[in-house]
Structure 1
Amino acid sequence: MGTLGVRLRDSRLGLPAMRDLLHLAEQRGYDSVWLPESVGRESVTELTALALSSERIRLGTGIVPVFTRLPTMAAAALATTATVAPGRVILGVGIGHRDHQEAGHGIHFHRPIQHVREFVTIARRLLTEGHIASYAGEVYTIEHFQLDTPPPQPVPVYIAALRPQMLRLAGAVADGVLMNWATLEYIPQAIEYVRQGAEAAGRSLRDIQIACYLRTCVTDNPEHVERESRTQIARYGSMVYYREYFASIGFAAEATALEQAWQQGDAAAAARAVTPAMIRTLTIYGSAEVCRQRLQAYREAGLQLPIIAPFPIGEPIQETFARTIAECA
């Protein structure tokens, strides 16, 4: 198979189940496992536990929100994890979801692009060199910071990005970009934004790995997947960032309907606003052969690392994840 990663996240998946799915992915030849972080669930501890339970597969945070961490301590945490999984750890960071971060953590969400730029610059330097003598930015000022346990090998830093500004920033300062909900048609344009950022910073596109979460489900019951996909797309449509993205890829009417529904706090209306065309465009589902063909199409469009995000349909959840992981390989 081509290079493939898997995203493991569902509130009903505990660490034992995640460990079993990790072992399956490793056995099936997956490149990497990625752990998102929610307002109430922390990912670095889970990442370390899985690192201790694996031998070959890479492990990434996908992603840690920059407003909930200091870049120095994020680097220290990943450096510690890297001591038990040298050369296998990735720090994925991003801005997260504003409403969730501000309400859930009581933090002030401001100047996101500059925050990410400085956070990644600091963390990447620490995870490469192990120390910073001096750093003076607009957000952070650091003097004489040294990691007690530098990573055995440099830890790459990826930026979660979807829109032009953040994609260009990833090209300028990161080792990789991690997209979410990107369509097959959008991939070449997204890569062009990354290239622009890289070249403006005197770098090459070859310096940055292009990765993306792709909602995927191998299933005999497409109606179940469509229902879950509709729910997930509607939930993301509560955030202006994603509504703007949906509008930019041809779903302007749906984005407007989603905005109106969420202004009324009407989740059912938001779900109804998600059209079959959106589901077909944003979701990979069907037989194993169909799913593998669509993943390959993404690779041919320029995506270097497709990361399947299995849908939590049916019970037990672990089995639905396992089938998709096994049959997409």
Structure 2
Amino acid sequence: MPADRDLYLPVAAQSSLDSLCELGVRAEDLGYDRVWLPETWGRDAVTVLSTLAERTDSVGIGTSVLNVYSRSPALLGQTAATLQEASGGRLRLGVGPSGPILVEGWHGTEYERPLRRTRETIEIIRAVLTGETVEYDGDIFQLAGFRLRHDPPETPPPIDAGGMGPKSVELAGRFGDGWHALLCTPDGLRERLEHFRRGVELAGDSPADCRVTVSIPCCALADAERARELVRDHIAFYVGAMGTFYRETLASQGYEETAATIAQRWANGDREGAIDAIDADLLSEMAAAGTPETCRDRLDQFAAVDGVDAVSVSFPRSANHSEIIETARALRPRA
């Protein structure tokens, strides 16, 4: 079966909640299979997705991702149950550890044992969603004596995990129902898929029952140079400003020198230099930027990677509303 075409709502601030939800409604009208929303330091994902669930009928909704430090595992379970009810069963819950810059700098929580915390969070969410009394004795969390005060979802939402390094990707396969990939080249994605499959095998599951969604920075404009400029800025920001995970992920895919250059220049305040370090080869490998035809072909190449179930169109952080709409229209699923 061909890979689904999803849409990743903008991570950058939008003018209003209505504007953000309007894009989700438009995604449904354009035929996208699912709308994902990350949670960074802007509007919270739960309120947005609850609102979007009320305004749509059929498009899937999902979090990609809720970090496992800012909410307790039990609250994440309650949230998953409620969003599944609000959406009529259209939710996929994506969770992950995020990174120390956001967790410590925004939430004021120490970034400790991210892999163990993610595993225990997933296990507790599953226990909450059964509707039974939760008795859990983990290394980090101990719960006893409580259960949901209402009926659990008839169909529990799948729980996906985000991850970039080998161990986190293996964890997604072993304990989650799917993996969310980002900042990957096709070859880098194939390598990480081996770690995911190893996790699935350790769990005794079938890869056919687990879902892989890859998010691609996309900008499809008639002004191809403007599209490339926006995506290069987006990649430089994540590699340069958002911590070592992104830099290490880029380096592990054969771009070690480029990753170091971006990080060094960004740290020194040379943002233009950091952006300039992203050459045409890297941009072509990691993103879909340029004319609509070029971008559609690039997404098809990611969708053709064996093991990919969905390709998610994500937008550069500096794209304006009209550029987001133009890209969403250009890259909508084929009829």
Q: 1:126 aligns with which of 125, 128, 151?
A: 128
Which residue number in structure 2 is paired with residue 183 of structure 1? Answer: 185
Which residue number in structure 1 is paired with residue 59 of structure 2? Answer: 57
Going from structure 1 to structure 2, the CA distance change for 1:222 and 1:312 (only over 3 Å counts) comes to: farther
Alignment of 1:322 onto 2:334: no
Cα deviation for residue 165 of structure 1 reads 0.5
Which residue number in structure 2 is paired with residue 67 of structure 1? Answer: 69
Q: Is the 8 A contact 2:93 2:159 kept in 1?
A: yes
Cα deviation for residue 112 of structure 1 reads 0.5
Structure 1 window deviating more from structure 2 (259-268 vs 167-176): it is: 259-268
Cα deviation for residue 179 of structure 1 reads 0.9
Cα deviation for residue 286 of structure 1 reads 2.7
Alignment of 1:42 onto 2:44: yes
Which residue number in structure 1 is paired with residue 13 of structure 2? Answer: 11
Q: Is the 8 A contact 1:311 1:320 kept in 2?
A: no
Which residue number in structure 2 is paired with residue 278 of structure 1? Answer: 282
Going from structure 1 to structure 2, the CA distance change for 1:140 and 1:133 (only over 3 Å counts) comes to: same
Which residue number in structure 2 is paired with residue 111 of structure 1? Answer: 113
1:222-241 C-alpha deviation (Å, 9 max, x unpaired): 22122222221121113211
1:4-55 C-alpha deviation (Å, 9 max, x unpaired): 1001122024221222222221122211000111134311111101011110
Instruction: Give the letter aligned to residue 147 of structure 2.
Output: Q
Instruction: Give the letter aligned to residue 251 of structure 2.
Output: A
1:63-83 C-alpha deviation (Å, 9 max, x unpaired): 111111101001111211221
User: What is the distance in 1 between the residues matched to 2:167 and 2:95?
Assistant: 15
The residue correspondences of 1:271-310 to structure 2 (distance < 5 A) are 271-302=275-306, 303-310=308-315
Secondary structure in structure 1 of the residue aligned to 2:92:
strand
Which residue number in structure 2 is paired with residue 148 of structure 1? Answer: 149
Secondary structure in structure 2 of the residue aligned to 1:4:
strand
Cα deviation for residue 310 of structure 1 reads 2.5
The residue correspondences of 1:130-209 to structure 2 (distance < 5 A) are 130-149=131-150, 150-209=152-211
1:200-252 C-alpha deviation (Å, 9 max, x unpaired): 12122122100011111221112212222222112111321111111111111
Cα deviation for residue 312 of structure 1 reads 5.6
Instruction: Give the letter aligned to residue 273 of structure 1.
Output: A
Q: Is the 8 A contact 2:128 2:134 kept in 1?
A: no
Q: Is the 8 A contact 1:86 1:152 kept in 2?
A: no
Secondary structure in structure 2 of the residue aligned to 1:289:
helix
1:181-203 C-alpha deviation (Å, 9 max, x unpaired): 11122222222111101111212
Going from structure 1 to structure 2, the CA distance change for 1:132 and 1:235 (only over 3 Å counts) comes to: farther
Q: How many residues align?
A: 326
Runs of at least 4 residues off by over 6 Å? none
Cα deviation for residue 277 of structure 1 reads 2.2
Q: Is the 8 A contact 1:225 1:313 kept in 2?
A: no
User: What is the distance in 1 between the residues matched to 2:269 and 2:317?
Assistant: 24
Unaligned runs of 5+ in 1: none
User: What is the distance in 2 between the residues matched to 1:249 and 1:154?
Assistant: 36
Q: 2:316 aligns with which of 311, 314, 322?
A: 311
Cα deviation for residue 260 of structure 1 reads 2.2
Structure 1 window deviating more from structure 2 (82-91 vs 42-51): it is: 82-91
Structure 1 window deviating more from structure 2 (61-70 vs 272-281): it is: 272-281
User: What is the distance in 2 between the residues matched to 1:130 and 1:225?
Assistant: 48
Secondary structure in structure 1 of the residue aligned to 2:109:
coil
Instruction: Give the letter aligned to residue 296 of structure 1.
Output: D
Q: Is the 8 A contact 1:176 1:209 kept in 2?
A: yes
Secondary structure in structure 1 of the residue aligned to 2:98:
coil
Which residue number in structure 1 is paired with residue 215 of structure 2? Answer: 213
Structure 1 window deviating more from structure 2 (49-58 vs 34-43): it is: 34-43
Alignment of 1:248 onto 2:249: no
Instruction: Give the letter aligned to residue 225 of structure 2.
Output: E
Cα deviation for residue 125 of structure 1 reads 2.8
Scaled by the length of structure 2, the TM-score of the pair is 0.92
Q: Identity of paired residues, percent?
A: 29
Instruction: Give the letter aligned to residue 39 of structure 2.
Output: E
Cα deviation for residue 144 of structure 1 reads 2.4
Secondary structure in structure 1 of the residue aligned to 2:51:
helix
Structure 1 window deviating more from structure 2 (22-31 vs 41-50): it is: 22-31
Instruction: Give the letter aligned to residue 305 of structure 1.
Output: A
Secondary structure in structure 1 of the residue aligned to 2:187:
coil
